[in-house]
Structure 1
Amino acid sequence: MKVTVPDVKTGSTYTCSRCAEPHDGPPLGYGMPAPAHWTPEVADQPGSVLGEEQCVIAGSHFFVRARLVIPVTDLGTEFDWGVWVSVSAANFEGMSTLWDKPERVEEPPYFGWLSTILPVYEPTTLNLKTKLHSQPIGNRPLVELEPTDHPLAVEQRTGITAARVQWFAEQVLHTDKS
């Protein structure tokens, strides 16, 4: 699984429990470059396109890149998962029509399904119910998970600690070295 790690600008370091090496960070976010359903085979199908902010598979499955934000309670900041959400064709068309218009923030939330497998959660995060909230131009939509007992939904509601952020880094940054 490929995970995009943003530049770390925290000015801090931590000693990783997996490799015992010091690392910058830990990062306060990770992003997935494509929806979980995107594969090389899908990329070759007519009507399939993967862009920076939107994705269409075979002209019939529609995805939008978004932010799933979790409060980091002991740091007074936020942790950000860059995720993909599938939306209906009608909602995709509506979002696309308003993409460059300031009034998009007045739209009610769009229903969607989380289309990203976050590697640190069990059970899977794939297909969790979401509401997608449009943001001002230049900002990705925000994901609000359905308030269930899934660990990701619980963390979105209650927050996480800096120790959990470090644990994420230790797991995500070493996925190929396990």
Structure 2
Amino acid sequence: MNYTAEAPDVWDPTFADADGCLLTKDQCVIHGQHYFVKGLIEIPITGRDEVFSWGVWVSLSRESFSRVSELWDRPGREAEKPYFGWLTTDLPVYATTTLNLKTHVHTRAVGERPFVELEPTDHPLAVEQRAGVSLERVREIASAVLHAGDTVPHAADGEQ
């Protein structure tokens, strides 16, 4: 039960061959000046042991991105303190943009996507992350994503 964005909203396909640009399934660099990691915003589903996840991109400072990259394959990396970042994925199922929401990126064990914790604001996404959602709400999100075509994040391909 997750959906994922393939790239940060600021990525343009023409960047693929440009110097200083890189897009992998986990990290992105644009013109050697903007740095992003992919993580999961997890939303508890009320009355269930499952979570709904958004695969999103978060911008990090150069220093934080360097540290994340340095530890990427290192066991024990989950002991790192969270990194501050800005959400750079707009999830259009919300009336108010999700771009530039403040986040903390929590590194997890090698092979697991980072956990993205939203600043506790009154934005509907942040409220859902804190309070959880019903299974019906998950169905509403799934329906909205599936019927919106390429204007929203694509269904995940099972990646974590």
Question: Structure 1 length normalisation: TM-score?
Answer: 0.81
Runs of 5+ in structure 2 lacking a partner? Answer: 151-160
Aligned: 1:61 with 2:34: yes
Partner amino acid for 1:37? V
Aligned: 1:119 with 2:92: yes
In 1, Cα distance between the equivalents of 2:95 and 2:59? Answer: 20
Match of 1:164 in 2: 137
Match of 1:47 in 2: 20
> Retained in 2: the 8 A contact 1:75–1:161?
no
> Retained in 2: the 8 A contact 1:114–1:127?
yes
Q: How many residues align?
A: 151
- 3-state secondary structure, aligned to 2:29: strand
Out of 67, 72, 95, the position equivalent to 1:94 is 67
In 2, Cα distance between the equivalents of 1:56 and 1:122? Answer: 29
Question: Structure 2 length normalisation: TM-score?
Answer: 0.90
Match of 1:80 in 2: 53
Rg (Cα) greater in structure: 1
Residues 63-89 of structure 1, C-alpha deviations (whole Å, 9 max, x = no match): 001011000013331001001110000
- Fraction of identical pairs, as percent: 53
> Retained in 2: the 8 A contact 1:66–1:142?
yes
Out of 146, 158, 177, the position equivalent to 2:119 is 146
Q: Show structure 1 runs of 4+ deviating over 2 A.
A: 40-45
Deviation at 1:104, TM superposition (A): 1.0
In 2, Cα distance between the equivalents of 1:163 and 1:128? Answer: 25
> Retained in 2: the 8 A contact 1:72–1:159?
yes
- 3-state secondary structure, aligned to 2:76: helix
Match of 2:104 in 1: 131
Partner amino acid for 2:20? G
- 3-state secondary structure, aligned to 1:102: coil
In 2, Cα distance between the equivalents of 1:34 and 1:176? Answer: 16
Residues 82-101 of structure 1, C-alpha deviations (whole Å, 9 max, x = no match): 01110000000001001111
Deviation at 1:107, TM superposition (A): 0.8
Runs of 5+ in structure 1 lacking a partner? Answer: 1-27
Deviation at 1:114, TM superposition (A): 0.5
> Retained in 2: the 8 A contact 1:121–1:151?
yes
Partner amino acid for 1:158? A
